Amino acid sequence: MAMSNVVLLNSWASVFGMRVKIALAEKGVEYEYKEEDLSNKSSLLLKMNPVHKAIPVLIHNGKPICESNIIVQYVDDAWNKSPSLLPSDPYLKAQARFWADFVDEKMYAKKIWTTKGDEQEIAKKEYIDLLKVLEGQLGDKPYLTGDSFGYADISLIPFSCWFYALETIGNMSIEKECPKLVAWVKRCKERESVSKSLADSHKMYEFALQLQKKYGL
């Protein structure tokens, strides 16, 4: 069976997969979308990402590219037309990579919905502190590293899909704590590439509740 030129192996709730969808949409790349069942991975996924056996994987002309941020950079290089997702200036490019790396290391809020009581309060405070660091970086700029939407924004924006679930489960208001960050989320979602690539917030909330059940909470 002939394979399409560009194939994306993904799972709908993956924030990492959403990054790739946004990058492909920004570049206007058409592709075949394949939803993976992570409890029953396809032989194609195991063959294309034997190291991590994880989605997202982009397959371009039969060759796999793995790891979401690497895929986004690849998309920027391979479909070399404007808008460029990474700035060409070396310093600005390093800044964009710094924030994408920060997001990868820190944006992990699972503890808010897998704990209760004091432990949950600590997790909530840690998460808000983290969002405040991002809000500080944003300052009065429209986007994380400047005037245009790009790589750092793409790395972070999918996590906003979890905000509603975190606010509901954690009984907190992210907008009250980080108004500029929430305004940035709205600004990003005005782009079609973003709005059509993000999962629905209410579906993510249902997903979190299912996971809570699975973990026996």
Ligand X SMILES: N[C@@H](CCC(=O)N[C@@H](CS)C(=O)NCC(=O)O)C(=O)O
CA distance 193 to 160: 15
Place of tokens 């489960």: 169
Residue 76 binding: pick among ligand X, ligand NAG, none (C-beta 5-8 Å cut-off by kind): none
Q: How many CA atoms lie within 13 A of 171 on its CB side?
A: 4
Under the criterion CB under 6 A, does residue 4 sit at the interface with ligand NAG?
no
Binding residue for ligand NAG (CB under 6 A) from 3, 4, 35, 42? 42
Q: Which is nearer to ligand X, 9 or 138 (CB)?
A: 9
Q: Which of 97, 128, 120, 201 is nearest to 158 (CA)?
A: 201
According to DSSP, the β-strands at 57-60 and 32-35 are: unpaired
Question: Of 78 and 183, which CB lies nearer to ligand X in the complex structure?
Answer: 78
- Residue 125 CB, nearest approach to ligand NAG (Å): 12
171 binds, among ligand X, ligand NAG, none (CB under 5 to 8 A by kind): ligand NAG
Instruction: Enumerate residues 34-53 that contact ligand X by CB under 6 A.
Output: 38, 53
Give the number of other CB atoms < 10 A from CB of residue 114: 16
Residue numbers at the binding site for ligand X (CB under 6 A): 11, 14, 16, 38, 53-56, 67-69
